[in-house]
């Protein structure tokens, strides 16, 4: 059926389309109200090298020159940030932090990019948490950032790094004020509206198909009745012979 045929069906069955659409829009409003608003908070961390560098001299009498950690970066910091992101983002770590799987509270740890290929692009670690309560979102970001300090120190001890060379974490951005995210509500409403339109079209075509089928069956029944009640054709008269 072409576009105009569809439009004609909708106009012809308006008494079905209109109530169905109003009912579905009511369901859309209900879905929009019922979907909870989530709040998001963020925090940003930077991994830095100590002022005395990433190594210690073999001779204790020698002293490493002091440097500014904010201008001393190398590939090792990117690798460390990547390892830290993977460790903090593991589901088991979330459970340790009190974030069960499949709940309405969650967080993610990235380097600011959603592309896994760019995971080692810099020594930054971004933390974002979402929760139905703004206070919960802020507290979760702070908890993850505090765990980052613990995790970084634990891993450096595990590899036997000299304490003087331990990398440190600088909190570039403390947990931000939570902001309401209405994207989930909007997506739910859009999906409900799409289902409303599909429901209206389906109802209209179902009624149209039923009516057409009923009319066709009525015409067949009428034709059969006419054939049954029609008088039988008279037999031809035999010719008389002289």
- Token pair 């308006």: residue: 14
Per-residue pLDDT of the chain (242 residues; tens, 9 = 90+): 566 666 676 677 777 777 777 777 777 777 667 767 789 999 999 998 887 776 666 666 676 777 777 777 778 888 889 999 999 999 899 999 888 887 888 999 998 775 555 545 678 999 999 998 899 999 999 999 999 999 999 999 998 888 888 899 999 999 999 988 766 666 766 777 777 777 777 777 777 777 777 777 766 665 555 555 555 555 555 555 44
Sequence-distant (≥ 6) Cβ neighbours of residue 160 within 8 angstroms: none
pLDDT digits (tens, 9 = 90+) for 49-84: 887 776 666 666 676 777 777 777 778 888 889 999
In order of 129, 166, 210, the CA distances from 32 in angstroms are 22, 50, 34
Q: Among 84, 110, 97, 112, which residue's Cα sits nearest to residue 169?
A: 84
CB 165 within 8 A of CB 56: yes
Residue 242's pLDDT is 41
The predicted model scores a pTM of 0.62
Q: How many residues does the chain have?
A: 242
Residue 182's pLDDT is 66
Residue 185's pLDDT is 64
pLDDT digits (tens, 9 = 90+) for 120-146: 567 899 999 999 889 999 999 999 999
Q: Are strands 179-181 and 38-48 parallel, antiparallel or unpaired?
A: antiparallel
Report the C-alpha gap between 232 and 35 in whole angstroms. 72
Residue 46's pLDDT is 92
Return the axis-axis angle of helices 183-229 and 3-12, rounded to nearest 10°: 80
98: left (phi over 0), alpha (psi -120 to 50) or beta: left
């Amino acid at each position: 059926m072409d576009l105009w045929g569809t439009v004609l069906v909708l106009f012809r069955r308006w008494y079905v389309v209109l109530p169905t659409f109003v009912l579905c829009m009511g369901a859309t409003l209900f879905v929009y109200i019922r979907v909870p608003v989530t709040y998001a908070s963020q925090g940003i961390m930077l991994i830095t090298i100590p002022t005395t560098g990433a190594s210690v001299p073999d001779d204790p009498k020698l002293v490493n020159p002091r440097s500014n950690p904010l201008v001393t970066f190398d590939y090792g910091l990117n690798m460390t940030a990547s390892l830290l992101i993977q460790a903090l983002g593991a589901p088991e770590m979330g459970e340790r932090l009190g974030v069960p799987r499949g709940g309405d509270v969650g967080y993610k740890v990235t380097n600011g990019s959603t592309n896994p290929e760019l995971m080692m692009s810099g020594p930054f670690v971004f933390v974002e948490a979402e929760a139905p309560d703004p206070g919960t979102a802020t507290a979760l970001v702070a908890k993850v950032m505090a765990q980052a300090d613990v995790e970084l120190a634990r891993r450096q001890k595990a590899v036997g790094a000299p304490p003087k060379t331990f990398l440190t974490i600088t909190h570039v951005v403390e947990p931000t004020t939570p902001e309401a995210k209405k994207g989930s509500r909007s997506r739910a409403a859009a999906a409900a509206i799409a289902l409303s339109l599909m429901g209206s079209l389906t109802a209209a075509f179902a009624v149209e198909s039923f009516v057409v089928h009923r009319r066709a069956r009525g015409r067949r029944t009428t034709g059969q009745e006419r054939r049954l009640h029609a008088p039988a054709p008279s037999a031809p008269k035999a010719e008389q012979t002289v």
